[in-house]
Every structure is written in C-alpha cells, then in structure tokens.
Amino acid sequence: MTDHSFTPEDSLVAVMVGISVSDATIRTSELLSIEQIVNFLPVFGSYDADRMRRIANIVFDLFEEEDGLDALFGLVKEDLPEPLYETAYALACDVAAADGAIAQAELRFLEELRHALDIDRLHAAAIERGARARHMTL
C-alpha cells in the first residue's frame, strides 16, 4: 500500500465498499445501495461516479494485505474531513443493512470503523438505529 490519495467522496465510497466486502460476499442489494447513495445524496453531488471502480479495486487490494483494514481506515481518516466521519459511519450502516441481515464480520467492521473515526458510542447507536429503521421490511 503506497501512495493512494482519496477525495472525501472517494473515502465515503471506500467505506461503503469495505463494509460490503468485509464478510467476503458482495451482495447485489449492497451494490445497489451504494449506487443509489452515490446517485442521490448531496455529498456526492459533484462526484464522478466513474471513480467508484478504481476505489473499489483499491479496497479489494487492501483487503488482500495483512493490515489492509487498518490501511483503509488510515486512508479514510487522512482524506475525509472530520465533519463527515459520522456520515461515513451512517453510510456503512446503510450498506450493511441493505440485505436485511448484518453478518458478524460486518459488525466487526463497524466497530473498528467507529473506533478509527472516534465516533461516540451513543452517536453510533443512534446512527445504527436509524439504519435499522430505514431498512425494515413488512
């Protein structure tokens, strides 16, 4: 892992891809969720969605490395403005919840992301609750 530099939007995409691949299975519902998020949220208003494939490949490469998750979180923390830390956590929660079940590996990813971005436990619980509420089914 060397000289990767992310835009703030790249960092958010990297977190979403990271949570999706954390359980070794990228589900269609997760990919659709990422695509919808990038297409509709204001934070991605000027983002070139063609960059998503490049960012995804970087994340895939990082996950091949022994300390890849730490490297990913380091890149994200370095290139994402602090006011967007909770946004990154919220997007990760939304992608994790997109398929209706959160795997143990995804829970670990969220916990490590929360620690890496120093998100208060109470704030994280509120974000998690919101994601759960948004992804409920009848």
Quote the pLDDT of residue 94.
Answer: 95
Domain boundaries, the chain: 8-134
Average pLDDT, the chain: 91
Residues 66-85, mean pLDDT to the nearest whole number: 94
Domain 8-134, architecture per CATH: Orthogonal Bundle (1.10)
Contact 72, 59 (CB under 8 A): yes
pLDDT tens digits for 118-128? Answer: 999 999 999 99
Residues 96-118 as b/e (b if ≥16 CB within 10 A, e otherwise) read: bbbbeebeeebeebbebbbebbe
Contact 38, 49 (CB under 8 A): yes
